[in-house]
Structure 1
Amino acid sequence: MSDHISGPRALANPIADITDFYVFPSPDRPGHLVLVMNTLPFAKVSNAFSDGLIYRFRLRPLTANPSGAQVPFSAGPEEGAEEFVFDCVFSPPNSAEAEPFEQEGTCTMPSGGTVSFRVNDDGGGSGEGVRVFAGARWDPFILDAPAALKTVATGRLAFTDPGAIYLDGKNVLGLVVEIDCSLLGGATLVGVVAETLTRGTFNVRIERVGRPEVKNLMLGPKQFDPVNQDLEIRDLYNMEDAFHIAHGYEGAYRARLNANLAFWDGIDGKTDWPANGNGHPLTELVLADYLVVDVTKPYQEQGSFLEIELSARQGRAHETCGGRALNDDVMDKFFTMLINAGNGPIIRDGVDGSSRPASRSFPYLSPPNPNPPEPPEHH
């Protein structure tokens, strides 16, 4: 599950659980960038957003690091880096008994201006170069999750063709913010992350998401880690600033990633990512955990996810917008990169598309399933 149920805190507070995060140039409004944060696994149409959370998107201009660097880009200094923040907050729903309930949202832009919108209004709200939608939506993430977990448990690829989307038809609470790229101060290459934080005078980061499956498939498994085999590391990782990991737990994250990335690389019986003396060659790239998007390139489905980062590592110019589109089959790219570094066949999970694909126009996410499958008793 992309970032669904990504740690004990997410399981205890599912309303703050970011299930997925997407960034892509608008397919029908050139010059606009679309940010999508989905929360609350197994949402019902009757679920409201939390009035106790800030739903935050952070965008930072990126600069290229020297050729051959493990992390291709810099997100600026730890203090005082340029950053564009879009914060969305929600009123309490008018009444728990009202059907349908009514709830208002407000998005605050980097300029301090605000846009108001009503939850579950397909038209959303707009103003000052920003358009916002929030509401229950069909979960767009595609993966045969039980087969992925079986692969980790057995050390053998467990995917079948065809596979099945886990509990297909489940819903999420979707938040879509479409921004005019002119709001980004001329930045063209940006790193983007989604966060949920406590709302009030003291803000605690509950969750943050950049790339899919970093927590569940790269940091989650404990059994391969020789250093911290009993440590549930994901809640610690969620509290970190995606653009600058603090120095307290860096060693633990690296040990876990070095071990788990080596596990994935070895599944096909050969090593495509030889350790370089400093651990796995992808560890630092994984820790730079934000989506990279080039706002000057057109919308593209399939082939753009990770293309900018991997091109930079190979010393060539990127060709796509990067980021991640709603209909991208990112997991095939993910497994192929980790297992054979693209030096072999595409590793498929047997699921190629959503049974209800996203649209090319606002609000992009498909309408919710009125009768979603019941979540399992134990995740």
Structure 2
Amino acid sequence: MTPISSKGRTRGGLAALICGALAAGGLAAAGTTALTPQAAHASSHREAPLISGTPQYDNTDLYAFVSPDRPDTTTIVADWIPFEEPAGGPNFYPFAEDAQYDLHIDNNGDAHGELLFRYTFKTHVRNKHTFLYNTGPVDSLDDPDLNVTQTYDIELIRLKNQHVMSKTKIADDVPVAPSNVGKASMPDYGKLRDQAVHQLPNGAVTFAGQADDPFFLDLRVFDLLYGGNLSEVGNDTLKGYNVNSIALQVPTHLLTESAHQPVVGIWSTTQRRTAHGSYAQVSRLGNPLVNEVVNPQKDKDTFNASSPWQDARFLKNVTNPELPRLIESIYKIKAPAEPRNDLVDVFLKGVPGLNQPPHVTPAEELRLNTSVKPSMHPKRLGVLDGDTAGFPNGRRLTDDVVDAALQVVEGELVGSKNDLGDAVDANDKEFGHTFPYLAEPTEGSRGPLAKGTSGGTDVRSQLGDALQPAGESRNTTLIAASAASGAAGVLLIGTGLAWWRRRVRRPY
């Protein structure tokens, strides 16, 4: 994060929109009075003490954008279970069966959800007498060799002021794309991914399953802000990890209040079943990075259990943020003056003239103006670089939210021009061009030997006798393997085994 420059960057977009609102003088009063108590705002890779111990219920990120290949639809992607190590068998990474994974839509700016898409999951085991996730190569989602499978239902709940008006089941027993065990177990994972894309009524599409973690950043920010001397930047520390994703694509007219009010606010939550059979919210996520670096320790768990219409209690965390003061203490970059009403607009109300609904109640939601057409050439800094189809107008998979957030927090919108960033500008894997757009998960068989990138040592030479056909000379094989690998350790093992065989064959 040495100040990173963005060549050719246009500084007109967000700065002009926000500064106009600040100059009008209306923001300061509106931002501090309209918030009501309790709720959240997060990109939660283990962002709060309680949820860090229960990853199945932990929202990691939320994305919402006008679908680039179907611009009359809106796509929502929500991720759970941070830091999935691809080889994490034998249980791998199922969705929790005692959870409700919810996508909330506020289509009138009142901080209450009017639509809720609820995903619930069931696990099915074919053979409980084996420890294996799969018992052979898996060709399809209904392959009998896929021993552990999941399915899910979707319920559409319509609400008014948090009162349920109707419930409709719109999907039943839809198959989940499995964890990517490895190349031997799942030789064509793309085929399994495709089979998990499911058509819903009215032109909607759904997907649930494992995916490459689409968030890209250098998490060493927590090591005294990139090592205290900017030496720890430039590595995508989420590279190689997977997440569990839910993706939903819906015709936009089914989400918005009307054609005259195209802005929707979106957030995701997880509710977990309690011992009494009821459900309690344990995780919540709207905008990225809020519960990690905006909320202090005392507020993090409360934030995860709260709702947008209760957000007033967290207002001071936005107007008087800790991060700029930390940057000033470590890097001597002067923190912008407080209160930070510019951040209230960006993160709690929406950008005036872009994605701020009329008569908005400030609340932490990812706000998207669905009437803004997708960019032909998306810019990673989104609105900050003049691309109004990107963050913070929703969030695309390619948006560099870390750099954009750092620059805004350091005063980009109030005259403190900067090019701060973590030097990670894109995901390590390319995203898809069609739904669900996510990159395929890294396979469990990945590694130096599987990729052929390190050492040149053949697996057969390391296993030696274990791979030797019956009747073939074992000592010859061991000597050949040792010579082929050139590894002194293997040669010593071969010599030791030969000595041991001579001893057991020789009568005492």
Shorter-chain TM range is 0.7 to 0.9
2:120 aligned residue: 89
Structure 1 residue corresponding to 2:110, chosen from 76, 100, 123:
76
Residues 293-350 of structure 1: per-residue CA shift (max 9 Å, x gap): 011112243357566xx99xxxxxx943610011111111111111232532321211
Higher helix share: 2
Identity level (%) = 23
1:17 matches 2:58: yes
| 1:104 aligned onto 2:151 | yes
How far is the alpha carbon of 1:261 from its aligned partner?
4.3
Q: CA deviation at 1:372?
A: 8.0
| 1-structure distance, mates of 2:68, 2:445 | 28
Matched letter for residue 153 of structure 2? T
Equivalent AA in structure 2 for residue 218 of structure 1: V
Q: Select which of 105, 114, 120 maps to 2:170.
A: 114
Match of 1:355 in 2: 428
Larger Rg: 2
- Tell me, yes or no, if the aligned pair for 1:3 and 1:18 is still in contact at 8 Å: yes
In structure 1, how many angstroms separate the alpha carbons of the residues matched to 2:262 and 2:398?
23
- Whole-Å separation in 2 of the counterparts to 1:113 and 1:194: 19
Cα distance change on mapping 1:256 and 1:192 into 2, 3 Å: closer
* Correspondence for 1:239 among 305, 316, 321: 305
**Contact 1:218-1:260 at 8 Å conserved across structures:** yes
The farther-off stretch of 181-190 and 210-219 is 181-190
Task: Kindly indicate whether residue 263 of structure 2 is the aligned counterpart of residue 183 of structure 1.
Answer: no
Show the counterpart of 2:237: 166
For 1:282, what is the secondary structure of its paired residue?
A: helix
RMSD: 3.1
Distance 1:207 1:306, change over 3 A: farther
Paired with 2:133 and 2:323, the residues of 1 have a C-alpha distance of 49
Aligned mate of 1:289, from 364, 369, 375: 364
TM-score by length of 2: 0.59
Instruction: Please give the alpha-carbon distance, in whole angstroms, between the structure 1 residues aligned to 2:291 and 2:280.
Output: 19
Partner of 2:291: 215
Q: Give, in angstroms, the shift of residue 361 of structure 1.
A: 0.5
Deviation per residue, 1:171-205 (Å, 9 max, x gap): 10111111111212424101110111124852211
SS at match of 1:54: strand
Name the SS for the 1:233 alignment partner: helix
What does the per-residue CA deviation read over 1:121-140, in whole Å, with 9 as the maximum and x for residues that have no partner? 43422222321111111111
The amino acid of 1:127's aligned partner reads L
SS in 2 for 1:4: coil
Unpaired runs of 5+ residues, structure 1, are 63-74, 221-230, 312-317, 375-379
| SS of equivalent residue, structure 2 residue 396 | coil
Seen in structure 2, the aligned counterparts of structure 1 residues 270 and 41 have a Cα distance that, compared at 3 Å, is: closer
* 1:355 shift after superposition: 1.3
Q: Could you say which residue in structure 1 is the equivalent of 2:400?
A: 329
Deviations 1:69-126 (A, max 9, x none): xxxxxx216xxx5611111111123357441321111111246141232100434222
Measured in 2, the distance between the counterparts of 1:269 and 1:372 equals: 46
Contact 2:215–2:238, Cα closer than 8 Å, also in 1:
no
CA contact (8 A) 2:64 2:395 kept: yes
- Report the CA distance shift for 1:304/1:178 in structure 2 as closer, same or farther (over 3 A): farther
Partner of 2:210: 136
**C-alpha distance in 2, partners of 1:217/1:113?**
37
Q: Which of 14, 24, 29 matches 2:70?
A: 29
| TM-score (normalised: structure 1) | 0.77
- What is aligned with 1:127? 200
The question of whether the paired residues in 2 share the 8 Å contact of 1:15 and 1:40 is answered with yes
1:274 to 312, 337, 343: 337
Query: Does structure 2 retain, via aligned residues, the 8 Å contact 1:103–1:119?
Result: yes
**Cα separation, partners in 2 of 1:152 and 1:44, compared to 1, 3 Å:** closer
Tell me if the contact between 2:43 and 2:285 (Cα under 8 Å) persists in the aligned partners. no
> Structure 1: how far apart are the matches of 2:403 and 2:205?
32
Which residue of structure 2 lines up, in the alignment, with residue 68 of structure 1?
Answer: none
**Which whole-Å CA distance do the structure 2 matches of 1:330 and 1:268 have between them?**
21
- One-letter identity of the residue aligned with 1:143: L
Match of 2:24 in 1: none
Residue of structure 1 aligned with 2:316, choices 235, 254, 273:
254
- Structure 1 equivalent of residue 469 of structure 2: none
For residue 379 of structure 2, the aligned residue among 302, 305, 310 is 302
Q: Would you say the 8 A contact 1:305–1:323 is kept in 2?
A: no
- Residue in 2 aligned with 1:49? 95
